[in-house]
Structures are given as structure tokens and as C-alpha cells.
């Protein structure tokens, strides 16, 4: 292996909080050589971003404190340099891109101006900076670079903004590029493009690339080596293929085991009567058509997945179905009644039958209500379900069913982890004894292992309560393990639907095929094969 370019040795960082010091990372060491891609893999709270923040001098001291360790860049310890010297290195020699590009681009300046500024502040003459900016934009694949340089950040899509961030980071030809969850907020197809771009740029410039991610798929796609972190410590490191094929540490084994898309496919879709029938549902926002005539049915006891990229109309379908938004036209027949033509009284009664679990449990639970209040609210609204005397008992029972403890009832949502909060949200939905639960990206905000647990729970509850699910997701592997049937949506239309095996193994539409090809497999070998296929296609 080549001489390391950037090396972190025995780094420990402590954060001083009101509850006393918390050690965010302990004795972390890693190194990255020129032309190498290193991934730091970890779940939320594992401390995976902390060492990179230390490299970039982004840790606020106080409350953070680097208690021990060295960060060696080209033979010099960055922690011993003066603030001015570090500023020389940060951004210029070591650049960083973030998860959310919009918050890192200034909305009131054109993107061309912002890239130029990065160049001129580091000493490039103005006219040269102009030319360089255009060529950078071209390099990162922004169409029509000269016109684009005069546009503002909001005029670009999410993927293009990430490209702009990359252009800005590359402006000064850094030796090391640190990418903190660069593709987490993006659609799968865009994610694949951005990763390909990073890889290509890295080949061209020979820089070292450090990727921080929670996604095994990203590691498999791009990384040479991987460092696995858990609870502030490195539990395992090695080449990506080696770690995947032969994990040593129990944590890594669990993590790889929890990766979705590996389980058995549901092959026996229930052959029951459809309970919900959507016919030609349209939704317009002004001139914009979010839904262009969607029709599908949901059978009793079935899990129907709706997949698609952002803007495909999958969430709008859910919102219209639950009457959070009014459809422009169409019908939704439920037990012979049109959901869209109910009187307020009928709508109120129907609410009991169709419930929803939202994407982000942090936001879908009222922070000022206890778990008991949150769950029992269902019966306060629909008093006919349960007499008040039995509320306490039933809340305890529901908490047990979703895998929480009865004594949790008097705590507030913020006292739980993300996965536990989603369980509370599920308990709340169950309190109304619904027939159908719509899960809108219900597991996308959760870590892989927690995701697997919540899906297992949903599967278990389906049989226990005789539920039917409409499961909306952008993540295809999750759907593969869980759904009976899949609907693929694009730009407000259903492009393909069928049993899960057909969709995954014999997709008919190009769009579905692209979507499947772009989703990342946690196995580096599978990804390498796919990459080779892609390349051969491009050559052809």
C-alpha cells in the first residue's frame, strides 16, 4: 500500500454535556492513501462523522474536546498547527461535501459566483477563475455549464446541487475529499450517478476519498477499504470485499445480516377480495399534475408496496387516500363506499379503519404528550372503542405488542430512540383497530438493524390483527422482503404493477429496470459485477 496521505492516530473526542462528559469516539485510528477510497461505516450515533469533523476542525471546543490523538497530513500533525495554517489546508488541500447541499450553498448568489469566489480567495486571478468554473461545472456533469453558472442554487435539482458541491470542493484540487453521507438524501438512480461521478473524478485526479456512510450498498459500490464503527469505537476494518464476505466482529455480522433484500420473497399473495379499490385518481396542484389517473386495488391481508423516486406521486397517493388532501377527480371504493364522497360523519367513522404511520416518528409524535396520552388519544376521539376505565390496561397491552414496556407509558417521545418512537407510532395506529395501515416511508429514517426489527414487527402484527398494508418506500430491497405486490410509480403514473417476484426478477418496463439496477447491493462482488455490466453497456 502507498504511503498514507492522511492518518488519524488514536483519536479520542469528548463532548461536555449538561449530563457530564460523553466520549464520542475512543482511540480511533485510520489512514487513507492517495487514490484510495476509504469508507467509514456506522449507524447513527456511532461517531462515524466525528473523526472527519476533527480533521476539518469542525468540532466546536467547547463543548467538544479532543482529549488525545494525532491527525497526520503529509507528515504534519494538524492538531498542532495554528488556526491560520489549518485554514490554508482545510478547503484547499482537504475538502468536504455534506449530505444536504442546499444548506451549504448560499441562496442569494449564483453558483458560478460561489465557485469563483472559492478560487479567487485562494489566489486565482478573476478571469482565470471564470474559465476554470465553467470547466469544473462541465466536469461534474452539469448540463450547459455557461448558462448554469448564472443560475441560483434553488434552480437545480437535489442531485445537481450535490454535483455543484463537488465542483466547489474540487475547485482547489484537493488531495483528500471527505464526503459525509453524500447520497443519503438522493434518489437511488441519482445516488448511482453521484457515486459514479465521485469515482471517475477520483481516478482522474488521484485524490484520496473518504466516504462516511450508514449504507452497506455505498460501501460495496465505491470503497476499497472500510472501517466499521460502533458506539465510538472501530470494531473492524479491512477491504470492502473481505469485511462483507468474512466479518469477524459480532456487530459487523449483525449489521450485514440486517441488510434488506436478502430474505425470502413472499410467493403466495393472499387470494382474497379487494377491500380497497382506487379508480382513476387525479390530483392537480394548479397546473401541475401530481397524480395522473391512478388505479389499483388492495386485497385483504395483503402488503402492497408503492415504490418510486421523489416526485413520483407515491406520497400524494397516500395523502389523498387518507383525505389529508382532496383529490381532483377519481374514486376510492372501500367496502362499497366511495371514500372521496363521504359526509363528515361517515369520514369520521372511516378514519377508524384506515390509519397511517408517518416517515419521521420524531415529528409525528406530539413532543408535549406522554406515550399514554398519545396512544389513548385514539379513544378520546372515538370513545365507542373503549371505555375510559380500560385505557390504562389497553395502552400497556399495546405497548407490549409493539415490543415496548408498559412502564414506558409515562415517558415523553424524546426519551426514546428512533426505532422505539416508530413503535409508539405503530401502537397509536393500532389503537383504533384499523383494517388498513398506510406506511409512508415508515422505515426510511431508521438504521438498518432497527429497520429490520420494525419490518419484522409490522409483519407479525399483520397476522395478529388481520391488517392490510400500503407500504410506500423508495428503498427497493426493503420492499423485496416485505411486500406481496409492488406498484412502481413515475411522474404521477403507475408504470408497472405485479407480484413482488415478477417485479424484481422480470421487470418489464425500462424505468423499473433502471430503478432496480441503480439500487445498491450490500455485496461488493454483486456491485462489481453490475458496474462491469454498466460499463460494457456504455461502451456498446
Partner 1 sequence: MTQATESAAPEKERSGFRTWLSLLWADKLAFFAAVFLLIVLLCAILGPWLLDGVATKQNLRGRNAPPFDLSRGFMMILGGDQLGRPLLARLIVAAGNTMAVAAGAVMLAMLIGSTLGLIAGYSRGRMAELIPRLADVIMSFPSLLLAVIVLYMLDPSVGNIILVLAITRIPVYLRTTRAEVLEVRERMFVQAATVMGAPTRRIIFRHILPMILPTILTIATLDFSFVMLAESSLSFLGIGIQPPEITWGLMVSQGRPYLTSAWWLSFWPGLAIILTTLSLNLLSNWMRVALDPTQRWRLEIGARKHG
What residues line the site for partner 1 (CB under 8 A)? Answer: 17-19, 22, 322, 324, 347-348, 351-352, 355-356, 358-360, 363-370, 377-378, 380-382, 407, 410-412, 414-417, 425, 428, 432
Question: Which of residues 351 and 394 has its CB atom nearest to partner 1 in the complex?
Answer: 351
Helices 448-465 and 250-258: crossing angle in degrees, nearest 10, is: 50
Question: Which of residues 89 and 409 has its CB atom nearest to partner 1 in the complex?
Answer: 409
CB of 378 to partner 1, least distance (A): 6
CB of 489 to partner 1, least distance (A): 21
Are the C-beta atoms of residues 230 and 256 closer than 8 Å to each other?
A: no
Classify each residue of 47-60 as buried b or exposed e, where b means 16 or more C-beta atoms within 10 Å of its C-beta.
Answer: bbbbbbbbbbbebe
Query: How does DSSP classify residue 520?
Result: P
CB of 6 to partner 1, least distance (A): 30
Question: Which of residues 107 and 367 has its CB atom nearest to partner 1 in the complex?
Answer: 367
CB of 427 to partner 1, least distance (A): 12
Are the C-beta atoms of residues 136 and 170 closer than 8 Å to each other?
A: yes
Backbone angles phi, psi at 201, to 5 degrees: -65, -35
Question: Which of residues 41 and 436 has its CB atom nearest to partner 1 in the complex?
Answer: 436
CB of 230 to partner 1, least distance (A): 15
Residues 6+ apart with CB under 8 A from 300: 270, 272, 273, 274, 275, 435, 466, 468
Report the relative pairing of strands 233-239 and 225-230 from DSSP bridges.
Answer: antiparallel
CB of 324 to partner 1, least distance (A): 6
Question: Which of residues 171 and 318 has its CB atom nearest to partner 1 in the complex?
Answer: 318
Beta carbons within 10 angstroms of residue 292's beta carbon = 15
Are the C-beta atoms of residues 492 and 289 closer than 8 Å to each other?
A: yes
Question: Which of residues 227 and 429 has its CB atom nearest to partner 1 in the complex?
Answer: 429
Report the relative pairing of strands 94-97 and 76-77 from DSSP bridges.
Answer: unpaired
CB of 181 to partner 1, least distance (A): 20
Helices 448-465 and 418-431: crossing angle in degrees, nearest 10, is: 20
Q: Which residues pair with 338 in a beta bridge?
A: 333
Cα 59 to Cα 15, 62, 63: the distances in Å are: 9, 8, 8
Question: Which of residues 10 and 310 has its CB atom nearest to partner 1 in the complex?
Answer: 310
Amino acid at each position: 500500500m502507498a504511503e498514507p496521505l492522511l492518518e488519524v492516530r488514536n483519536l479520542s473526542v469528548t463532548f461536555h454535556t449538561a449530563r457530564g462528559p460523553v466520549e464520542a469516539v475512543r482511540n480511533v485510528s485510520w489512514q487513507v492513501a492517495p487514490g484510495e477510497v476509504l469508507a467509514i461505516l456506522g449507524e447513527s450515533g456511532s461517531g462515524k462523522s466525528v473523526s472527519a469533523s476533527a480533521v476539518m476542525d469542525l468540532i466546536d471546543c467547547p463543548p467538544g474536546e479532543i482529549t488525545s490523538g494525532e491527525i497526520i497530513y503529509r507528515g504534519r500533525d494538524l492538531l498542532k498547527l495554528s488556526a491560520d495554517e489549518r485554514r490554508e489546508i482545510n478547503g484547499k488541500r482537504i475538502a468536504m461535501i455534506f449530505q444536504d447541499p442546499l444548506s451549504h450553498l448560499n441562496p442569494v448568489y449564483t453558483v458560478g459566483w460561489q465557485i469563483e469566489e472559492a478560487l479567487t480567495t485562494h489566489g486565482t486571478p478573476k478571469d482565470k477563475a471564470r474559465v476554470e468554473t465553467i470547466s469544473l461545472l462541465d466536469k461534474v456533469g452539469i448540463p450547459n455549464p455557461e448558462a448554469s453558472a448564472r443560475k441560483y442554487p434553488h434552480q437545480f435539482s437535489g442531485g445537481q446541487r450535490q454535483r455543484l458541491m463537488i465542483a466547489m470542493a474540487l475547485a482547489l484540487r484537493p488531495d483528500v475529499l471527505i464526503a459525509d453521507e453524500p447520497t443519503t438524501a438522493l434518489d437511488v438512480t441519482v445516488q448511482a450517478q453521484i457515486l459514479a461521478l465521485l469515482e471517475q473524478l477520483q481516478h482522474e485526479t488521484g485524490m484520496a476519498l473518504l466516504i462516511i456512510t450508514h449504507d452497506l450498498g455505498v460501501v460495496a459500490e465505491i470503497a476499497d477499504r472500510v472501517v466499521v464503527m460502533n458506539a465510538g469505537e472501530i470494531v473492524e476494518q479491512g477491504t470492502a470485499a473481505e469485511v462483507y464476505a468474512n466479518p469477524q466482529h459480532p456487530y459487523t455480522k449483525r449489521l450485514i445480516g440486517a441488510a434488506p433484500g436478502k430474505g425470502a420473497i413472499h410467493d403466495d399473495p393472499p387470494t382474497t377480495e379487494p377491500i380497497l379499490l382506487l379508480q382513476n385518481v387525479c390530483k392537480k396542484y394548479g397546473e401541475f399534475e401530481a397524480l395522473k389517473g391512478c388505479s389499483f386495488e388492495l386485497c385483504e391481508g395483503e402488503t402492497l408496496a408503492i415504490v418510486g423516486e421523489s416526485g413520483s406521486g407515491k406520497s400524494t397517493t397516500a395523502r389523498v387516500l387518507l383525505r389529508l388532501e382532496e383529490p381532483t377527480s377519481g374514486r376510492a371504493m372501500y367496502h362499497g363506499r366511495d371514500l372521496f364522497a363521504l359526509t363528515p360523519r361517515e369520514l369520521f367513522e372511516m378514519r377508524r379503519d384506515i390509519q397511517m404511520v408517518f416517515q419521521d416518528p420524531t415529528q409525528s409524535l406530539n413532543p408535549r404528550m406522554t406515550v399514554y396520552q398519545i396512544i389513548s388519544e385514539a379513544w378520546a376521539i372515538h370513545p365507542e372503542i373503549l371505555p375510559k376505565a380500560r385505557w390504562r390496561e389497553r395502552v400497556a397491552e399495546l405497548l407490549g405488542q409493539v415490543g415496548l414496556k408498559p412502564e414506558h407509558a409515562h415517558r415523553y417521545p424524546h426519551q426514546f430512540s428512533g426505532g422505539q418512537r416508530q413503535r409508539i407510532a405503530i401502537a397509536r395506529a393500532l389503537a383504533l383497530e384499523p383494517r388498513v395501515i398506510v406506511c409512508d416511508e415508515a422505515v426510511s429514517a431508521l438504521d438498518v438493524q432497527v429497520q429490520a426489527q420494525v419490518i419484522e414487527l409490522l409483519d407479525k402484527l399483520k397476522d395478529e390483527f388481520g391488517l392490510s398494508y400500503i407500504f410506500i418506500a423508495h428503498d427497493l430491497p426493503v420492499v423485496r422482503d416485505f411486500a406481496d405486490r409492488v406498484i412502481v410509480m413515475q411522474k404521477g403514473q403507475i408504470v408497472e404493477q405485479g407480484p413482488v417476484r415478477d417485479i424484481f426478477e422480470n421487470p418489464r418496463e425500462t424505468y423499473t429496470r433502471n430503478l432496480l439496477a441503480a439500487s445498491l447491493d450490500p455485496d461488493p462482488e454483486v456491485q462489481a459485477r453490475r458496474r462491469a455490466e454498466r460499463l460494457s453497456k456504455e461502451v456498446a
